[in-house]
Amino acid sequence: MVKSFRLLYGGLHLTTTSIPTPSDLSRVETFVHTLIPKGSSVRCEVPSSHSFCKLIGMPFLHSGKPINPKDASLILFSSVYKDSIHLATPSRIVHDSRHADTCSIYFNIWDSQTGSQMKSFINRFLNIGNVVCFFRKASMKIGLPLCTSCYSWGHNMNYCNSSHMVCPICIGPHCKDNHRTLAACCKGHPKQDPPVPPTADGEPCPHLALCKNCGKSHAANSPRCQFWQHRFNHFWVLE
């Protein structure tokens, strides 16, 4: 039942007594079509947001191999709760420990602002073979933080104990904004034979970066870093 309506965000905002079903939204669209010029388009939808969920106690080995996000999505979409699970982002696998045979699947779904879709399956169980897994509500952030002062994993800059900042490009004792000015690779070497000119003003650093965490040739905050790729696996990063 519609209680009230008003113009909002360039459209018509309806306040209802309960969460509308897809058939309710379809009826509203049909009705609005009778009130506007012919040929105009109408889209009626419930305001959406993300709900953060996880499936715990999941077997880590799937067909003899570690489970991957594609396997996890297939499991979610083949469950009895599939109509309520509309993934907003790819699912993520977090191994319970290095030697454990279980893991947790973290997934975000499109949901109403009241979390009506999540409520239909949260705290319920799902049988995976002979294993009973449970759906739980997850926190918004589960990945380990990367400190933007020293560029180490496991804490943020508010709790950093380092005595100086670290450049994510060259691991020098300066911030990223001063890399071009202070880094030895960009300052140039005029006395070298042949002389090496400094990096031109306005140009990005053309030299190979050095990651503080894995030692490879990329910045410490690069998504290419294996630490970044394992940021949801606390055991892997902190070992």
Counting other chains too, the contacts that 218-224 makes at CB distance below 8 Å and 24 or more residues apart are 219/168, 219/169, 220/146, 220/151, 220/166, 220/168, 220/169, 220/171, 221/146, 221/148, 221/151, 221/168
CB 149 within 8 A of CB 162: yes
The structure tokens listed for 180 are 């071009």
More confident: 179 or 196: 179
Q: Which pLDDT does position 24 carry in this prediction?
A: 85
Cα(109)–Cα(51) distance, rounded to whole angstroms?
A: 5
Range name among 2-16, 30-44, 88-102, 119-133 with the lowest pLDDT average = 2-16
What is the CATH number assigned to the segment(s) 48-137? 3.30.70
**22-54: per-residue pLDDT in tens?**
788 888 888 888 888 887 888 787 777 889 999
Residues 6 or more apart in contact with residue 118 via CB below 8 angstroms: 51, 53, 84, 109, 111, 137
Q: What is the pLDDT of residue 48?
A: 74
**pTM above threshold 0.85:** no
Work out whether strand 131-137 and strand 125-128 pair parallel, antiparallel, or are unpaired: antiparallel
Which pLDDT band holds residue 142 (cuts at 50, 70, 90)?
low
Going from N- to C-terminal start, the domains of the chain cover 2-33, 48-137, 143-239
The number of beta carbons lying within 10 Å of the beta carbon of residue 57 is 17
Distance CA 208, CA 186 (A): 11
Q: Is the pLDDT of residue 123 over 80?
A: yes
Average pLDDT score over residue span 14-29:
81
Q: Tokens standing for 114?
A: 């009241």
Tokens of 132: 């009973």
> Helix or strand or coil: residue 116?
helix
Between CA 63 and CA 70 the distance in angstroms is 13
Cα–Cα distance for residue pair 62/76, rounded to 1 Å: 14
pLDDT tens-digit readout, 151-175: 999 898 999 999 999 999 999 999 9
Give CA separation, 28 vs 8, 117, 146, 236, in Å. Answer: 17, 21, 47, 51
